[in-house]
Amino acid sequence: MVLLDGKKVSNDIKNEIAEEVKKMKANGEKVPHLAAVIVGNDGASLTYVASKVRACERVGFDSTMVRLSNTTSQVELLDKIYELNENPDIDGFIIQLPLPKQIDTQKVLLAVNPDKDVDGFHPMNFGRMALDMSTFIPATPFGILELLDRYGVDTQGKHTVVIGRSHIVGRPMSILMGRKGFPGNSTVTLTHSHTKNITQITSQADIIISALGVPNFLKAEMVKDDVVIIDVGITRVPDDTTEKGYRITGDVDFENVSKKASFITPVPGGVGPMTIAMLLKNTLLARERQLK
């Protein structure tokens, strides 16, 4: 069994990006600038945004965190987005999800300038992705592709089963794995809450990408020998033995499934760190695009 070490690979990617930034600085060019908008006080979202900002510092990007209160109106948030769209100093920005109830997420994502949409959530970028055009691929799916690529995991002609159809992970992943090229050329099954007899499907899978958010959902009896496992689950489970009072748990029963797997991502330290590295990569691409 080979551990798909997202922590190590994401560090490699950050070092590569830091080298690019050094060259930009040496040439007297402006460095990439990422802004992250966060609305409200959700603990997990604040943690994620803080690590995105820290990652920017680490590679030498400029970063701006925009914090808005939980009672922010739709109009106020849209005004902030128009401001970021127009600001020539900002190369890319993200709106951390989920948003409070009073805000229509679809309207907000549509307002982002597609050239600055480093999350790849704008319908134009999503459509471009589905049509194999150059675009911003959402960071988590992009990170999974990069992990498969760097470990040389064969995807061609394989049966990939994706669990969960979220707009951020499952749906784009199902499109990307079936695309022409590498990693891709897979035969894809997208499973979700209405799927019947999921074990019958997972037990035929060569590659399983689980983005469900149910701790320990995927058990050893549900997979075949030599399966490749990508665990995107990051559920906080209460745990008094830890300093924070919780631990992060994936969708996969790692202890038992890892005994059958050929490749597997750990949680934490698998897909999670890759997401941040690929957000930086998209921001670098956004900077390069602004120059064209």
The binding site comprises 164-166, 234
Please indicate whether residue 292 is annotated as part of the active site: no
Q: How many residues bind ligand GUN (CB under 6 A)?
A: 9
Hey, is 94 helix, strand or coil?
strand
Asked if residue 63 binds ligand GUN (CB under 6 A), the reply is no
| Cα–chain center distance at 277 | 9
170 closest CA partner among 132, 138, 202: 138
Tokens of 217: 């959902």
Q: Does residue 283 interact with ligand GUN by CB under 6 A?
A: no
Stretch binding ligand GUN (CB under 6 A), from 58-66, 95-103, 108-116, 202-210: 95-103
| Distance between CA atoms of residues 205 and 148, nearest Å | 16
Position 10 contacts ligand GUN (CB under 6 A):
no
Query: Does position 96 bind ligand GUN by CB under 6 A?
Result: yes
Closest by Cα among 262, 205, 202, 264 to 233: 264
**What are the DSSP E strand ranges found in the chain?**
2-3, 33-39, 62-68, 92-95, 159-163, 187-191, 207-210, 228-231, 235-238, 246-249, 263-264
Closer to ligand GUN by Cβ: residue 135 or 189: 135
Catalytic, 52? Answer yes
Rounded Cα–Cα distance for residues 229 and 220 (Å):
11
Q: Which member of 52, 80, 116, 281 is catalytic?
A: 52
Of the residues 5, 91, 117, 119, only one is catalytic, namely: 119
What does the per-residue mask of binding to ligand GUN show for 190-229, with x meaning CB under 6 A?
Answer: ----------------------------------------
- Say whether residue 110 binds ligand GUN (CB under 6 A): no
Characterize the bridge pairing of strands 159-163 and 207-210.
Answer: parallel
User: Which member of 80, 96, 253, 281 is catalytic?
Assistant: 96
Instruction: Mark whether 119 is an active-site residue.
Output: yes
Query: From the list 35, 39, 168, 211, which residue makes contact with ligand GUN (rule: CB under 6 A)?
Result: 168
- Cis ω on the peptide bond leading into residue 114 (within 30° of 0)? no
The C-alpha atoms of residue 100 and residue 286 are separated, in whole angstroms, by 28
Binding of residue 95 to ligand GUN (CB under 6 A): yes
Q: Which residue is nearest to ligand GUN (CB)?
A: 97
Query: Which sequence positions are flagged as catalytic?
Result: 52, 96, 119
Chain residues in the site for ligand GUN (CB under 6 A): 94-97, 119, 139-140, 168, 275
